[in-house]
Amino acid sequence: MISLGIYEKALPHDLTWEERLELVRKLGFNFLELSIDESDERLARLDWPEDKIKEVRDAIWKTKTPIYTMMLSGHRRYPLGSKDIQIRTKALDMMNKAIRLAGFLGIRNIQLAGYDVFYEEKTVLSRELFVENLTKAVEMAAAQQVTLAIETMDDPFINSLSKVKYLKSQIKSPWLQAYPDLGNISAWPENNIAQDLEENIENVVSVHLKDTVRVTADFPGKFKDVPFGEGCVDFKGCLRTMQRLGYNGTYTIEMWSQARDNPVAEVKEAKQFFTKLFDELGIKQRKIAD
């Protein structure tokens, strides 16, 4: 039995926390995935005062809709592998604040983007600085019983579960795990997604459901806003593989419909797409809390 969540950026922006979480519940999802992206608006959440944290926590209890995961993509702007020591210091400070916020809100997993750097040149040094600082971040998380989960990305630095596994061989901790994005893994032609899942299922703590268009020699791939069922992801095959491997964790539908005309309608359509697949495969979704 699995839990199904929805990414915050799929939902209308101008809602109170109680309204947002109640909408998640009404749409038939078990949880919300919180967004801490690189915008000033969302990075400011890392400095929420106690009364704001209490507001969100009270909304969770009132609506009975938890926030299980946090997508901490703000490290694109402040990467752990930056050559600038001030940026690396900022990145670790963000990490510490994110872990603290996760603890207060009951968030189990902080999803980290698998980039050493994003806007800077990638080098052997950027990789080494990333590993060194990720080690520090894992130590912070372990002290507060929060899991850091590396997402497989739209970037060759970490674009498969096998690369997360190798990273885990350098940082030996149960508090560092993998958050595969089925779309991102499928888009890279060098990946065999079924084999990647089979060989690394023990590291998977959550899964992103997203469609993509494959990378080719003359096309960089498309990693966002691909309608479900129109890209390269064999969702039925992937979900059946996960089912055979005994995966009973969380799935999150990743969408960016927030700024479009009718985000709720788009989310309903996506939910219907995956509900049909789950039903065909006999995958049971945990009931919405009464």
User: Is there a domain that residue 59 lies in?
Assistant: yes
* Cα gap 56→28, rounded to integer Å: 20
User: Is there a domain that residue 254 lies in?
Assistant: yes
Map residue 97 onto helix, strand or coil: helix
Query: How would residue 152 be classed by pLDDT, with cut points 50, 70 and 90?
Result: very high
User: Is there a domain that residue 286 lies in?
Assistant: no
Q: Which two tokens stand for residue 29?
A: 């999802």
Q: Are strands 222-226 and 211-213 parallel, antiparallel or unpaired?
A: antiparallel
Strand order in the sheet with 176-179: 176-179, 147-151, 109-113, 67-72, 31-36, 3-7, 250-253, 206-209
Indicate the DSSP class of residue 35: E
User: Is there a domain that residue 289 lies in?
Assistant: no
User: Is there a domain that residue 241 lies in?
Assistant: yes
Q: Is the pLDDT of residue 126 over 90?
A: yes
User: Is there a domain that residue 290 lies in?
Assistant: no
CATH number for 277: 3.20.20.150
Average pLDDT, the chain: 97
What are the pLDDT digits (tens) for 48-100?
Answer: 999 999 999 999 999 999 999 999 999 999 999 999 999 999 999 999 999 99
Count of domains forming the chain: 1
- CA angle, 286 as apex, 285 and 289 as ends, to 5°? 140
Per-residue pLDDT at 144 = 96
Indicate the DSSP class of residue 189: T
Q: Which two tokens stand for residue 215?
A: 């990378």
User: Is there a domain that residue 96 lies in?
Assistant: yes
The residue type found at 184 is: N
Distances (CA, A) of 46 to 42, 74, 224, 237: 8, 10, 25, 38
Per-residue pLDDT at 289 = 79
How large is the average pLDDT for residues 12-41? 97
**Strand (E) or helix (H) holding 279:** helix 263-281
Q: Which residue range(s) make up the domain with 116?
A: 3-281
User: Is there a domain that residue 288 lies in?
Assistant: no
Per-residue pLDDT at 225 = 95
Per-residue pLDDT at 260 = 82
**Strand (E) or helix (H) holding 238:** helix 235-244
* % of residues, the chain, pLDDT over 70: 100
* Cα gap 73→43, rounded to integer Å: 10
* Cα gap 186→232, rounded to integer Å: 7
What are the pLDDT digits (tens) for 219-274?
Answer: 999 999 999 999 999 999 999 999 999 999 999 999 999 878 899 999 999 999 99
How large is the average pLDDT for residues 155-181? 98
**φ, ψ dihedrals at 28, nearest 5°:** 90, 20
The residue type found at 102 is: A
Between 290 and 165, the higher pLDDT residue: 165
What are the pLDDT digits (tens) for 207-232?
Answer: 999 999 999 999 999 999 999 999 99
C-beta of residue 94 within 8 angstroms of C-beta of residue 43: yes
